[in-house]
Amino acid sequence: MFKSILLFVGIFLSQPLAWAHGQQQQKKIQPEGSNSSTPNVLLIMADDLAWMDLACQGNTLVETPFLDRFAEQGIRFTSAYAAAPVCSPTRAALITGLAPARLRITNHIPDREQFTPNGASHTGAEMFDALAPSYTTIAERLKEAGYATGFFGKWHIAGTGIGPQGQGAAKYYPENQGFDINIGGCIYGGPPTFFDPYRIHNLTNRKTGEYLPDRLADEVCQFIDRSDVQPFFACLWNYSVHWPMEAPAKLLRKYENRNGPGLNDTRYGAMIEALDASFGKIMNHLENRGLTDNTLVIFTSDNGGFAGVSDNRPLRESKGHIYEGGIRVPLMIRWPEVIKSHQVNDTPVISMDFFPTILDTCGLSPETQCDGKSLVPLFHNHRLRRSSIFFHFPNYAWHRSNSLAGAVRSGDYKLVRHYTTGNLELYNVSNDIGETRNIAKQRPGLTKRLNQELTQWLAETNAAMPRPLPLE
């Protein structure tokens, strides 16, 4: 979702960034440092890829040469966060610029009563099971501005009524949310298989045994070629590296003995390298077409790694938890025309930031309401004018082991509030990234201030809260 504008362009910092329903005049502004007001944008998101799953992040067991090279060509963010510790809320937040709390999409779709553990005092908050077409998406804004828009891969914000091969209500699909084409986006949270025949209703079979990341990369490259006369916005939300654990046989053999710190499942390592190769195919295509310099490319993940296969250390916990292992994710951004290479930035950023960043990058006027901030100032080594980012996870994940909780990250510190007990935890995540030392009692003033900030934000977003269960 997110032709070569892969994600950011400079627009005036004084302009408030936001989101809006409805039509709005498209004001184009020449981005700072750019020779073009119509960059291409490529937004690539992996599924379940953990913060420590790439070689450039420090993993010594996986080989990710294309992503490593990409990270050196732009900015690698070390404190990037998904909007939520599970996939559907992050996807909805990313495409609209609105927090999951505001959208009332706070868990993976569908949320189910059976996720509530036996003996729990509360069940999860009420939520919607699809992204309503009334919300303005990045694709809609860019399409109005003359961009060709294409979606490829996993959507998973289209309702719960699964039909044959992932079909559901068409009104919630990408093609009704601003995308000219949709290849593979449906109700599925994970593919039935990563090999052709895929059994996904809007992804035609092509060659028996073909691997899904390769196929989606080919589709993106073909879309880029077809968009030759206009700028493009390509949104590739990979199904990888979600279950099922499937990879080409050659890579499975390569990784069969690589278990240890960094990998809990050797098949997972093979999937990561296969994802990297498919990413490299697209980057090479941009280069061969002469589109690299004026294409904004963003690469990130939708949540932390799944504990069964990913080793999230040194982070605490994993997908489905509000601790760092559930929400901190890899993020790299490249735009050679504007962004200098070999940058590492530790500013806390979050999924909602992509919407205003892309608008800014394309020289488009901001939305009237947005929960993110444009990251364009960081492209030029300026500070980001924001004090805190917030998280709201009031539902039980499929594993039923998480706390119903909210959190706020402000500077070096992160406060966690457990909704059902009221307990507060405070961590200095700059020097205690594993969240091992709760310093709430040592810093009562800071704990109180951040807790008040979270309360105010929950009220401002009209966040739905966990529901008490009757006493037995």
Q: Has residue 69 got a pLDDT over 90?
A: yes
Q: What is the pLDDT of residue 5?
A: 39
Average pLDDT of span 358-383: 96
Q: For 309-334, write each residue's pLDDT tens digit.
A: 999 999 999 999 999 999 999 999 99
Q: Has residue 30 got a pLDDT over 50?
A: no
The per-residue pLDDT of the chain, averaged, comes to 92
Nearest-angstrom CA–CA distance, 302 and 329? 8
Does residue 183 sit within a domain? yes
Please check whether residues 353 and 457 belong to one and the same domain. no
Does residue 23 sit within a domain? no
In the numeric block, which tokens belong to residue 71? 């990270």
Can you say whether the dihedral through the CA atoms of 50, 54, 57, 59 is positive or negative?
A: positive
Please check whether residues 255 and 380 belong to one and the same domain. yes
Is the separation of the CB atoms in 238 and 216 below 8 Å? yes
CATH of residue 447's domain is: 3.30.1120.10
Residue in this structure with the two tokens 């499942």, named with its chain if needed: 265
* Number of other CB atoms surrounding residue 208 within 10 Å: 8
Q: Has residue 32 got a pLDDT over 90?
A: no
CATH of residue 217's domain is: 3.40.720.10
Please check whether residues 190 and 235 belong to one and the same domain. yes
What element of type H or E holds 217?
Answer: helix 212-226
Nearest-angstrom CA–CA distance, 106 and 6? 27
The three-state DSSP-derived secondary structure of 274-315 is HHHHHHHHHHHHHHHCCCCCCEEEEEEECCCCCCCCECCCCC
Residue 215 backbone dihedrals phi, psi, to 5 degrees: -65, -45
Please check whether residues 381 and 411 belong to one and the same domain. no
Please check whether residues 432 and 327 belong to one and the same domain. no
Closest CA to 300 of 70, 103, 49, 88: 49
Please check whether residues 414 and 375 belong to one and the same domain. no
Q: What is the pLDDT of residue 24?
A: 36
In the numeric block, which tokens belong to residue 255? 């990784």
More confident residue, 2 or 304: 304
Confidence tier at 37 by pLDDT (50, 70, 90): low
Q: What is the pLDDT of residue 228?
A: 84
In the numeric block, which tokens belong to residue 121? 């005092």
Does residue 304 sit within a domain? yes
Does residue 51 sit within a domain? yes
Determine the structural domain holding residue 147 and report its residue range.
40-387
Residue in this structure with the two tokens 């800071």, named with its chain if needed: 446
Please check whether residues 127 and 201 belong to one and the same domain. yes
Does residue 97 sit within a domain? yes
Confidence tier at 472 by pLDDT (50, 70, 90): low
Q: For 334-352, write each residue's pLDDT tens digit.
A: 999 999 999 999 999 999 9
Please check whether residues 109 and 141 belong to one and the same domain. yes
Q: What is the pLDDT of residue 17?
A: 31
Q: Which residues pair with 245 in a beta bridge?
A: none
Q: What is the pLDDT of residue 169?
A: 87
Among 356, 387, 418, where does a domain finish? 387
Nearest-angstrom CA–CA distance, 188 and 110? 10
Q: Has residue 9 got a pLDDT over 60?
A: no
Q: Has residue 12 got a pLDDT over 60?
A: no
SS3 (DSSP) at 446: helix
Q: Could you give the number of structural domains in the chain? A: 2
DSSP state of 36: -
Average pLDDT of span 4-31: 36
Does residue 29 sit within a domain? no
Is the separation of the CB atoms in 152 and 234 below 8 Å? yes
Q: For 78-93, write each residue's pLDDT tens digit.
A: 999 999 999 999 999 9
Please check whether residues 299 and 209 belong to one and the same domain. yes
Q: Which residues pair with 328 in a beta bridge?
A: 81
More confident residue, 98 or 169: 98
Among 353, 387, 421, where does a domain finish? 387
Q: What is the pLDDT of residue 6?
A: 41
Q: For 173-192, write each residue's pLDDT tens digit.
A: 999 999 999 999 999 999 99
In the numeric block, which tokens belong to residue 468? 């008490």
Does residue 35 sit within a domain? no
Among 360, 387, 414, where does a domain finish? 387
Please check whether residues 182 and 326 belong to one and the same domain. yes
